[in-house]
Structure 1
Amino acid sequence: MATQQPISILEYHQRTKHFLDHYAQGPGTLDWADQPDPFRRFEGCTRFQLPLAGHVPSPAFSLLQQGEKIEAQAVSLQSLGLMLELAFGLSAWKQYGGDRWALRCNPSSGNLHPTEAYLINTANEDLPAGLYHYLSHDHVLEKRGEWNTLPEFQGLLIGLSSIHWREAWKYGERAFRYCQHDIGHALAALRYAAAIQGWSVEILAEVSDAAISGLLGLDREQDFLPKETESPDVLCRIHTGAFESVTVMDPGGLADLAVDHWFGKANRLSHYHHYQWPVIDEAALATLKPSTSEHYESRTSDHRLVLKPSSQSAGDIIRQRRSAQQFDAQTSISLVNFFQLLLALMPCRPMPFDLWPWSPKIHLFLFVHRVEGLPPGVYALPRESECLMTLKEMMQDAFIWEPVDGTPDQMDLYCLLRADCRKAAKTLSCHQGIASDGAFSLAMVAEFGDELENQPWRYRRLFWECGLIGQALYLEAEAIGMRGTGIGCFFDDAVHEVLGITGSRFQSIYHFTVGKALEDKRLQTLPAYFHLNQAE
């Protein structure tokens, strides 16, 4: 009997598209009794309580774009706690009747939070050297591992992983895409949180997934339930300015960090797992990254990309970030604020794109509804000028590609079509009113190209880059008194048809919208860590 060939990542992408007449495969109904626990815990670990930041002042949001003006903080439990809290911690609780759920500083599709964060610490005397899992619910570090002899490497590493089951419970086969979006959002959230401390973040891009898995203990099958394992995603180094004698962290250097003693077992997240989505495991296997030699693009950050400086605290903006559920369908955005938002998405912007070591592969197509001084219509914002001619050749012949007057020098914005596109935007985004009721929505279109055939792990990076863009939009929208929300549900090929895209050279892989949010007055908002005070 012939064995079935494993799925390629391009086959997975095509298989998990939504179409106007049917959606990608997902659960027919949601088994609410088996909804995954949003908090991973490791039972049997020593726990280290991190101090809550409370009202500790943080720099103005605008100053994060001028990192050299922010004094680097010493590594301590206080500074580590603040970084982890603002990157991955709770931002609030919402309650409706007898139901209560947590919101976090890093957004997630469906508030399901497949992303887990780990800290490797050899730098701080306040915290014993070791490998730790961050539990956001309790704002604690769970010690998962330690060494017989302290490694030569001195510093801090952050590892991120994904529990695919958390997303698949609700979204079925398309969930692998959403987990990758969430990693991108988490990377950006980490970058903003580190910047508040005067620290920077470096992606250790050469490292293989197998090395990350071994380093974080994700390959220890005995510590996890079979259907609730974690997949390795990315390893980052936090540069604090205190341990710069070690300037290079290559894949070979990770052997020095191999843990000698392990602690703890992962908690059960669900009981039944009625629905199974083996194609997600196939996609994860297809995109497993080997150890690589990376080519980094030389790029200079531009600190001038702030049109309207915000004096609001960066910490406050991060904590108040929410995903809008509904817009008022009336409020316009000023042209200056619109340009401010778009400038925040350019690759030369320091925050959060200074951690991204590759040339941009994501370009933006906007459905403008209510921007003062700008006619409604479809617009294009290429994030890499060298791709402009290719985009023009691929798009609709009827598009006019007219440069928008007054656009800041650091970006090129083009009007493609003047029209009321609210109905089209709503239809393309799975008939969701949030795409038409805001000031504008946009599609993030990725360069797929031939490299995904030979280097399929780059598929995940495309979604990570979208997550970086989305997180920048979230925070910049808050800074101008607006609100954003990511849109993972859209009709893939219908979007391509509207734009004139054929073939697989370009693919729309994430949508986003910004506007004036309507608050649901029925919901009660509770402080992020009120439950810790109640337990005392």
Structure 2
Amino acid sequence: MSETPQYPPLLAYHARTKHRFEAYAEGPGQLDWDAQPEPFRRYPGAPLLELPLAADRFERPYGSLNQAPAETIAADLDSLGALLELSLGISAWKSWGPSRWALRCNPSSGNLHPVEAYVLSAGLPGVPDGVHHYDPKDHMLEGRALRPADGSRWLAVGLSSVMWREAWKYGERALRYCQLDIGHAIGAVAYAAALLGWRIEALAVPGDSLARLLGVDRADDFPPSRFAYTEAEEAEILLAVQAPGLGAPPAEPGDWLANADWQGTPSQIDAAPGYRWPVIAQAATASRPLAVESSPLRFPALPVLPTLPAHPAATGTAQIIRQRRSAQRFDPRATLDKAAFYRLLDATLPRRQAPFTGQESTPAIHLLLFVLRVDGLPSGLYLLPRTPEAAITLPAVLGASDERFADQCAVADSDPDCPAHLGLILLATLELPEMQRLARALSCHQDIAATSAFSLGMLGDFSGVATDGYAYRRLLREAGLVGQALYLEAEAAGVRGTGIGCFFDDPVHRTFGIADPRWQSVYHFTVGTPITDTRIETSPPYPQRKQETP
């Protein structure tokens, strides 16, 4: 009798939480939307600082986003307000009948928003030194831990996850979705920083140290509950902001807060949860960074400004960020211009620019494409390797067990309009009806994957996960970064994107002939021409505040 294979914790978690044709990953059998966890956390008792709604002062064309602005923008209360407004703030309110909900600049699985943000600042004009919780509902800072100024000047943004917000709907798969959301949030901060001419850098901080720094390990501060897991925040990442006049955060930022005055009590997320999935906490523990280990990122040598159609100069970055939505339906009669398709793919390639300035490790995500309705391209299965190494190894992996891929070829060899640096590969040509069936079935039978111009799966290299639990988080976050690039580029191209967290993992692998468990699909995405639901009303993000003029 053979023994059941034993896997390291994160590989076991990933295998356990796969959706299969015969059964979905463990989750709630039904949802009570009236009992949804609270989407906004507050810290009553903490001093409040109202942030300006000043993002429009810094508006410039989206096509020039990764170029330096005409004027140097200093870090102060106004620019900090713009950074948070365009990364983690509310972009609009939606309503339908008695229901009203917020949309935010950072997308989230199910619009559940597990991400909480903290500002760590020293020497910024108008901002007390210390740790502040960001309240996106009212665009304010809540002073959690304030300390005397010491003459230093630096700025960082810390992110955490309230995993219960995702677990309430998605069950055991929640840790996956939280990490994708963290990736989207990192990308959102990177894009907002780029608008200001700033950059962000992920800092290597052990998980327990970051928890102390953000104050999320202060158990006595949190509301007492029989269900502490609903209130817990998982410390995720610390992002240093590089801006004119700012230095680096202290090497031991925890020491900087040694004598700080902690204030405020976190509000309650969910007083009476109906379910519990202990495997989420187990996977979170197994994937925390245990030591400070940082190495320089290696980005492939790619054209900085590829010869592709430029974005309209009149389309502003703040405008693109605010109008970003997740499409709910696509027009199956609409097609996508081939040049726009190439531009979208180009935006996902890793470069030292937004959103990938926030990346933590060497790129390890590659794209499996379902091309449906792109003018001038045959419908079929395609591969976009995002690194030169993967361009060499992946085609053989995909072709090893499937004769359909025997004639795979580089698209640039047959299409002079395809930029050679993309490295796009046509694996197999399939008729549109077959492509629609495949795309829909593999994305949990969702029409949005089949009525779009194209959809894709993000394939991650899991070779390091067995020995480094934190590599699991990094992979999923990188997928979120790629998704954020697709969201904004789709808006700039006049179409719309939607992230898809529900897909049948192993059937995706079999469709592309992948037998090696090193490669795992971690996130899906789809892009097309949206159909707007006119029954839903849209209102401004901060009706209680007067928008400041440029």
Q: Distance in 2 between matches of 1:143 and 1:301?
A: 43
Residues matched between the structures, number = 523
Once the two structures are TM-superposed, the CA of residue 253 in structure 1 deviates from its matched residue by: 5.2
Residue 368 (structure 2) aligns with? 365
Residue 146 (structure 2) aligns with? 146
Runs of 4+ in structure 1 over 4 Å off:
none
Once the two structures are TM-superposed, the CA of residue 54 in structure 1 deviates from its matched residue by: 6.5
Counterpart pick for 1:431 among 417, 440, 445? 445
Q: Distance in 1 between matches of 2:357 and 2:369?
A: 24
Q: Distance in 2 between matches of 1:242 and 1:395?
A: 49
Please tell me whether the aligned partners of residues 365 and 378 of structure 1 are also in contact (alpha carbons under 8 angstroms).
yes
Confirm whether residue 222 of structure 1 aligns to residue 220 of structure 2: yes
The alignment partner of 2:422 has SS state of: coil
Please tell me whether the aligned partners of residues 92 and 103 of structure 2 are also in contact (alpha carbons under 8 angstroms).
yes
Amino acid at match of 1:332: T
Once the two structures are TM-superposed, the CA of residue 388 in structure 1 deviates from its matched residue by: 2.7
Residue 474 (structure 1) aligns with? 487
Please tell me whether the aligned partners of residues 7 and 282 of structure 1 are also in contact (alpha carbons under 8 angstroms).
no
The alignment partner of 1:474 has SS state of: helix
Q: Distance in 2 between matches of 1:500 and 1:29?
A: 35
The alignment partner of 2:86 has SS state of: helix
Residue 41 (structure 1) aligns with? 42
When structure 1 is superposed on structure 2, of 352-361 and 173-182 the one drifting more is 352-361
**Could you say what the CA RMSD is over the residues aligned between the two structures, in angstroms?**
1.9
Q: Distance in 2 between matches of 1:445 and 1:308?
A: 27
Confirm whether residue 165 of structure 1 aligns to residue 164 of structure 2: yes
Once the two structures are TM-superposed, the CA of residue 56 in structure 1 deviates from its matched residue by: 2.9
**Structure 1 residues 29 and 373, CA gap change in structure 2 (3 angstroms):** same
CA shift digits 1:461-493 (9 cap, x unpaired)? 001000110000000000010000000000000
Please tell me whether the aligned partners of residues 52 and 81 of structure 1 are also in contact (alpha carbons under 8 angstroms).
yes
The alignment partner of 2:351 has SS state of: coil
Once the two structures are TM-superposed, the CA of residue 83 in structure 1 deviates from its matched residue by: 0.5
CA shift digits 1:352-411 (9 cap, x unpaired)? 113325321000010000111100000000001212332123213321221112321322
Counterpart pick for 2:469 among 443, 453, 456? 456
Q: Distance in 2 between matches of 1:190 and 1:49?
A: 19
When structure 1 is superposed on structure 2, of 278-287 and 394-403 the one drifting more is 394-403
When structure 1 is superposed on structure 2, of 273-282 and 31-40 the one drifting more is 31-40
Within a 5 Å distance, the mapping from 1:346-495 to structure 2 comes to 346-348=349-351, 350-396=353-399, 397-398=402-403, 399=405, 400-404=407-411, 405-406=415-416, 407-419=418-430, 420=432, 421-449=435-463, 451-495=464-508
Once the two structures are TM-superposed, the CA of residue 532 in structure 1 deviates from its matched residue by: 4.1
Amino acid at match of 2:162: I
Please tell me whether the aligned partners of residues 93 and 526 of structure 1 are also in contact (alpha carbons under 8 angstroms).
yes
Q: Distance in 1 between matches of 2:293 and 2:70?
A: 33
Q: Distance in 2 between matches of 1:196 and 1:55?
A: 11
Please tell me whether the aligned partners of residues 56 and 318 of structure 2 are also in contact (alpha carbons under 8 angstroms).
no
Q: Distance in 1 between matches of 2:70 and 2:9?
A: 45
The alignment partner of 2:355 has SS state of: helix
TM-score, scaled to structure 2: 0.92
CA shift digits 1:410-466 (9 cap, x unpaired)? 2200000000311100000000000000000000000001x2121111100001000
**Structure 1 residues 24 and 298, CA gap change in structure 2 (3 angstroms):** closer
Once the two structures are TM-superposed, the CA of residue 256 in structure 1 deviates from its matched residue by: 2.7
Confirm whether residue 235 of structure 1 aligns to residue 238 of structure 2: yes
The alignment partner of 1:42 has SS state of: coil
Once the two structures are TM-superposed, the CA of residue 217 in structure 1 deviates from its matched residue by: 0.4
Once the two structures are TM-superposed, the CA of residue 504 in structure 1 deviates from its matched residue by: 1.7
Residue 3 (structure 2) aligns with? none
**Structure 1 residues 334 and 187, CA gap change in structure 2 (3 angstroms):** same
The alignment partner of 1:275 has SS state of: coil
Extract unaligned runs of 5+ from structure 2: 1-5
Q: Distance in 1 between matches of 2:363 and 2:56?
A: 37
Q: Distance in 2 between matches of 1:259 and 1:429?
A: 51
Amino acid at match of 1:365: L
Please tell me whether the aligned partners of residues 79 and 197 of structure 1 are also in contact (alpha carbons under 8 angstroms).
yes
**Structure 1 residues 70 and 183, CA gap change in structure 2 (3 angstroms):** farther
Q: Distance in 2 between matches of 1:175 and 1:531?
A: 33
When structure 1 is superposed on structure 2, of 27-36 and 69-78 the one drifting more is 69-78
Q: Distance in 1 between matches of 2:273 and 2:7?
A: 23
Identity between Structure 1 and Structure 2 (%): 45
Once the two structures are TM-superposed, the CA of residue 267 in structure 1 deviates from its matched residue by: 0.6
CA shift digits 1:114-173 (9 cap, x unpaired)? 0011001102121111210000000000000012x4356520010000000000010000
Amino acid at match of 1:82: A
Within a 5 Å distance, the mapping from 1:307-322 to structure 2 comes to 307-310=308-311, 311=313, 312-322=315-325
Q: Distance in 2 between matches of 1:57 and 1:235?
A: 25
Once the two structures are TM-superposed, the CA of residue 189 in structure 1 deviates from its matched residue by: 0.2
Once the two structures are TM-superposed, the CA of residue 349 in structure 1 deviates from its matched residue by: 6.0
Q: Distance in 2 between matches of 1:339 and 1:84?
A: 31
Residue 60 (structure 1) aligns with? 61
Q: Distance in 2 between matches of 1:152 and 1:453?
A: 44
Q: Distance in 2 between matches of 1:375 and 1:505?
A: 30
Extract unaligned runs of 5+ from structure 1: none
**Structure 1 residues 54 and 386, CA gap change in structure 2 (3 angstroms):** closer
Once the two structures are TM-superposed, the CA of residue 255 in structure 1 deviates from its matched residue by: 2.3
Q: Distance in 2 between matches of 1:302 and 1:39?
A: 41
Residue 332 (structure 1) aligns with? 335
Once the two structures are TM-superposed, the CA of residue 81 in structure 1 deviates from its matched residue by: 0.6
Q: Distance in 2 between matches of 1:471 and 1:289?
A: 24
Q: Distance in 2 between matches of 1:395 and 1:54?
A: 45
